[in-house]
């Protein structure tokens, strides 16, 4: 219908290519207004993530200007008020979004949809940030999976769409014709952040899949060597794409299109695609059980004794500063402070140390990570912490206690990772064997085993 105007409300899909919501917004010749709402809730994100979001939005604005001659429309405020008011202001027939499955996002979108409906407009959800959207991987009886391995098998069988084309004929109506408010001031993250935006994400991906990129000096690509090198934190063996997936500057189906994700091909491809499956799994768990964002997924373990007194706070401070005296724990925490990122193997080690050696609430560590990680994602972060704490999705979690010394010997054999971040000699703050026994005692009391 000629003259129709729509709003493309960007959220966690800050790219132009492979964006089905954007294509749907511009269907039938509609004039598309690209919008991002700077939500006051972002203030709780911490300076690192806010600074990176600033950079991603700047890159998106530049991309739109390069093809449309007009930029991203920015508005500040509560989206439940801003979006309906903007739709009224622009006489937009519909607002298009990628579906948000987070607890906050679902609540927000329900309110926006109701307000738009009251004025004869619609909120149209098209696509999601996931390869397989939450709620689509189910058992034969229609119930969700609570354990990853069976989930991942059905996830692969379910499959995903091919990447969508780059829009080349959209009619844009952006900030040259619509009032746009200023970008928020970029906070000082105190660290150097990775390059941000769609182009940077695609470049990172190409470096990961191109031959000769493996950190072991072979002619393999990093993805082909992934299963062998991904657990060695001193090497560049991972994709470094977690911040891009967080903000949707690249979509997982774009990655999967370049992989043999059948589970029968290259071991590296299979293991890397499993990491994308973990991301979808945790989003599905949070979708099914939104209260598990900050509460134990397994309420039977609510009675686990944790320490929260002044002594516990002092121990937490040592952990957060990387001063526990355990080299690989301290290296990970210092890497986080210095870069806004931590190797995934080390994330598991430092998380286990906090909950099993220091006996502190997993929520303390989860909040610290969300404040300091560039890639802080609620579902992946908090359910990863619950996996370490033994309160989450693992089938047999409670007796797993990582030994930081043997973990260092296994994954940092030459000591190069620890030496990079912890050059000084250290003295362990505790006896791991004794604290492991104490952790198992507390878990046995809570589980009655």
Residue 101 in marked binding region: no
Residue 402 in marked binding region: no
Residue 138 in marked binding region: no
Residue with tokens 């329900």: 110
Strands 94-97 and 122-125: parallel
CATH number attached to the domain at 198-288? 1.25.40.80
Residue 52 in marked binding region: no
φ and ψ at residue 7, rounded to 5 degrees: -110, 130
Pick the CATH number of 299-447 from 3.40.50.620, 3.40.190.10, 1.10.579.10, 1.10.260.40: 1.10.579.10
Residue 280 in marked binding region: yes
The region, left, alpha or beta by phi > 0 then psi within -120 to 50, assigned to residue 401 is beta
Residue 88 in marked binding region: no
Instruction: Determine the pLDDT at residue 1.
Output: 39
Q: Domain residue spans in the chain?
A: 5-128, 198-288, 299-447
Instruction: Determine the pLDDT at residue 93.
Output: 96
Helix or strand holding residue 171 (H, E) = strand 171-172
What residue ranges in 2-161 does DSSP mark as E strands?
5-9, 31-38, 73-76, 94-97, 122-125
Q: Is 92 helix (H, G, I), strand (E, B) or coil?
A: coil
Tell me the pTM.
0.95
Residue 47 in marked binding region: no
Q: Is 144 helix (H, G, I), strand (E, B) or coil?
A: strand
Instruction: Determine the pLDDT at residue 398.
Output: 60
Tell which residue, 427, 408, 417, 244, has the closest CA to residue 334.
Answer: 417
Residue 276 in marked binding region: yes
Residue 239 in marked binding region: yes
Residue 279 in marked binding region: yes
Residue 141 in marked binding region: no
Residue 98 in marked binding region: no
Q: Give the CATH architecture of domain 5-128.
A: 3-Layer(aba) Sandwich (3.40)
Residue 377 in marked binding region: yes
Instruction: Determine the pLDDT at residue 3.
Output: 64
Residue 405 in marked binding region: no
pLDDT tens for the 449 residues of the chain, in order? 346 999 999 999 999 999 999 999 999 999 999 999 999 999 889 999 999 999 999 999 999 999 998 899 999 999 999 999 999 999 999 999 999 999 999 999 999 999 999 999 999 999 999 999 999 999 999 999 999 999 999 999 999 999 998 888 899 987 677 899 999 999 999 999 999 999 999 999 999 999 998 988 899 999 999 999 999 999 999 999 999 999 999 999 999 999 987 766 689 999 999 999 999 999 999 999 999 999 999 999 999 999 999 999 999 999 999 999 999 999 999 999 999 999 999 999 999 999 999 999 999 999 999 999 999 999 999 999 999 999 998 756 567 899 999 999 999 999 999 999 999 999 999 999 999 999 999 999 998 87
Residue 278 in marked binding region: yes
Residue 86 in marked binding region: no
């Amino acid at each position: 219908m000629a003259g129709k105007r729509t709003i493309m409300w960007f959220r966690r899909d800050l790219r132009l290519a492979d964006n089905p919501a954007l294509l749907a917004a511009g269907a039938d010749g509609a004039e598309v207004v690209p919008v991002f709402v700077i939500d006051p809730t972002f203030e709780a994100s911490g300076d690192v993530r806010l600074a990176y979001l600033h950079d991603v939005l700047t890159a998106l604005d530049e991309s739109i200007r390069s093809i449309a001659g007009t930029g991203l429309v920015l508005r500040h405020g509560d989206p439940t008020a801003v979006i309906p008011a903007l739709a009224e202001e622009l006489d937009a027939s519909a607002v298009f979004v990628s579906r948000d499955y987070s607890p906050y996002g679902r609540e927000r979108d329900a309110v926006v949809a109701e307000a738009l409906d009251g004025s004869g407009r619609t909120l149209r959800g098209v696509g999601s940030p996931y390869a397989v959207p939450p709620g689509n991987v189910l058992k034969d009886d229609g119930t969700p999976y609570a354990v990853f391995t069976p989930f991942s098998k059905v996830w692969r069988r379910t499959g995903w769409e091919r990447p969508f084309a780059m829009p080349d004929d959209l009619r844009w109506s952006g900030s040259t014709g619509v009032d746009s408010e200023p970008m928020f001031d970029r906070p000082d993250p105190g660290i150097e952040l990775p390059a941000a935006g769609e182009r940077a994400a695609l470049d990172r991906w190409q470096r990961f899949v191109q031959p000769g990129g493996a950190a072991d000096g072979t002619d393999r690509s990093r993805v082909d060597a992934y299963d062998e090198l991904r657990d060695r934190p001193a090497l560049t063996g991972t994709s470094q794409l977690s911040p891009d997936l967080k903000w949707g500057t690249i979509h997982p189906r774009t990655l999967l299109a370049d992989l043999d994700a059948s589970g029968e091909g290259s071991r590296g491809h299979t293991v890397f695609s499993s990491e994308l499956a973990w991301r979808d799994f945790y989003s599905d768990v949070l979708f099914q059980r939104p209260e598990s964002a900050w509460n134990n997924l397994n309420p039977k373990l609510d009675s686990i004794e944790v320490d929260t007194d002044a002594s516990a706070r002092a121990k937490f401070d040592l952990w957060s500063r990387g001063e526990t005296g355990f080299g690989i724990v301290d290296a990970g925490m210092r890497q986080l402070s210095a870069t806004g990122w931590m190797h995934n193997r080390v994330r598991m080690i430092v998380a286990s140390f906090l909950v099993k050696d220091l006996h502190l609430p997993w929520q303390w560590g989860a909040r610290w990570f969300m404040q300091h990680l560039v890639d802080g994602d609620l579902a992946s972060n908090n359910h990863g912490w619950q996996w370490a704490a033994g309160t989450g999705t693992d089938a047999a979690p409670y007796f797993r206690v990582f030994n930081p010394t043997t973990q260092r010997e296994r994954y940092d054999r030459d000591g190069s990772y620890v030496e990079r971040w912890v050059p000084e000699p250290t003295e362990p703050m505790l006896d791991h064997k004794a604290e492991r026994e104490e952790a198992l005692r507390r878990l046995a009391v809570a589980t009655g085993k």
